Amino acid sequence: MNTAGTTKSLHDIGKKLAAVGLDGNGNWQEILQNFKPADVERALSQPVGLYSLNKLAALVSPAAEDYLEQMARLAHQLTLQRFGRIIQLYAPLYLSNHCINSCLYCGYSTASKCERTRLSLEEALEEAEVIASEGFRHILLVSSEDKDFITVDYLAKFAKNLSSKFSSISIEVYPMSREQYAKLYQAGIDGVTLYQETYNRKAYAYFHPAGPKADYNERLAAHDRTAQAGMRRLGVGVLLGLSDWRIETLALAEHAHYLMKRYWQSQVSFSLPRICTAYNVSINYKYLLSNSNFVQMMLALRLCFADAGIVISTRERPELRDRLVRLGVTRMSAGSKTSPGGYTGKTEAVKQFEIDDRRTPAEVAAMIKSQGFEAVWKDWDAAFGPD
């Protein structure tokens, strides 16, 4: 691991995050409350798709809540211009729910008394066969922090087995070193999704009391290593509900903008997961956001980042997902199973969270078509990319 490079990366992104008050500086909560309609109109008059912190702040401010229809029209037009009428479909494949972390919001926490399941490579391949048979050619490999079993070698070998069935393979696992990411890239994995969960350091410390994930800085620096290893797609996001969504949006944008400027060869996508019901978890979350606020966040990000992907999962209800198709989304999961062995039904493993859209992949594709868009199962093949 390049310690000097990691330290510099943390310093650079730390300065950006400090600008939105996440290290005790700034007063953005008060600033956001003081935005006026004229400030929102000024932000909307600026060229669409270009980012500045002040512009985004105006668009996520309470004052912008009265401008959602105008924001939606602009976001729709911009998305059509940059992405066309396509929504890429993908499926997550959960490999293990063993975990050494103690995240308070997660049913996989080490403190949870749940049935633990690990998929052998053979079992995981059976799951992948089911996913492929449904038409998917984009797959996301997901695991809890189970480094003893879900090793780099496990993931590399599995990815090579999947190469004939899937045109794009991504992972959503624990942070790794640059060298480990490079090995996975060589094995055929071309994307990494890694949520900071919350950029608020105090909230982060509270919700992650023990385990490797308690190290905020280690997680924050992971995408630098991901990009340096050559990964083509970087997925960033926050778990909405852990802290103030408006401040989280500003921090998420600053992180994304930093990555886009430094690693322009990689595409950055935003994921917007909202906290969901999880096994054996009972928390009264203070920062849950409404559907209207969720839409406002998504529109604001689109209007500031023309070329960023926006990913929506089956955490959201069908009626909301239907509406979001026309508002800037570029990628959706469908038919998701959030437990190891969920596709074949051979295990009774605990789900990481409960999904709200239970429609089949074919039903989701039909919904997308009914909106005047095309559901794309495959739009990239690694065989056509550089070595």
In the block, residue with structure tokens 């293990």: 96
* Mean pLDDT score, 88-117: 91
Confidence of residue 31 (pLDDT cuts 50, 70, 90): confident
DSSP readout, 67-124?
Answer: GHHHHHHHHHHHHHHHH-SEEEEEEEEE-B---S---TT-TT-TT------B--HHHH
The C-alpha atoms of residue 345 and residue 222 are separated, in whole angstroms, by: 33
* pLDDT tens profile 319-351: 999 999 999 999 999 999 988 999 998 776 767
Full set of structural domains in the chain with CATH: 3-384 (3.20.20.70)
Q: Residue 22, CB half-sphere, CA atoms under 13 Å: how many?
A: 29
CA torsion angle for 332, 338, 342, 347 (degrees, to 10)? 170
Contacts of 7 by beta carbon, 8 Å cutoff, 6+ apart = none
Strand-pair partners of 311: 271, 331
- pLDDT band at 382; cut points 50, 70, 90: very low
Of 205, 142, 150, the C-alpha closest to 353 is 142
- At 114, is the pLDDT very low, low, confident or very high (cuts 50, 70, 90)? confident
Amino acid identity for residue 263 in this structure? Y
Which stretch of 107-116, 117-126, 154-163, 303-312 has the lowest confidence by average pLDDT? 107-116
- 217: pLDDT strictly greater than 60: yes
pLDDT digits (tens, 9 = 90+) for 129-143: 999 999 999 999 999
Against a cut of 0.85, is the pTM above it? Answer: yes
**245-272 pLDDT, tens digit each:** 999 999 999 999 999 999 999 999 999 9
Residues 370 and 387: beta-carbon distance below 8 Å: no
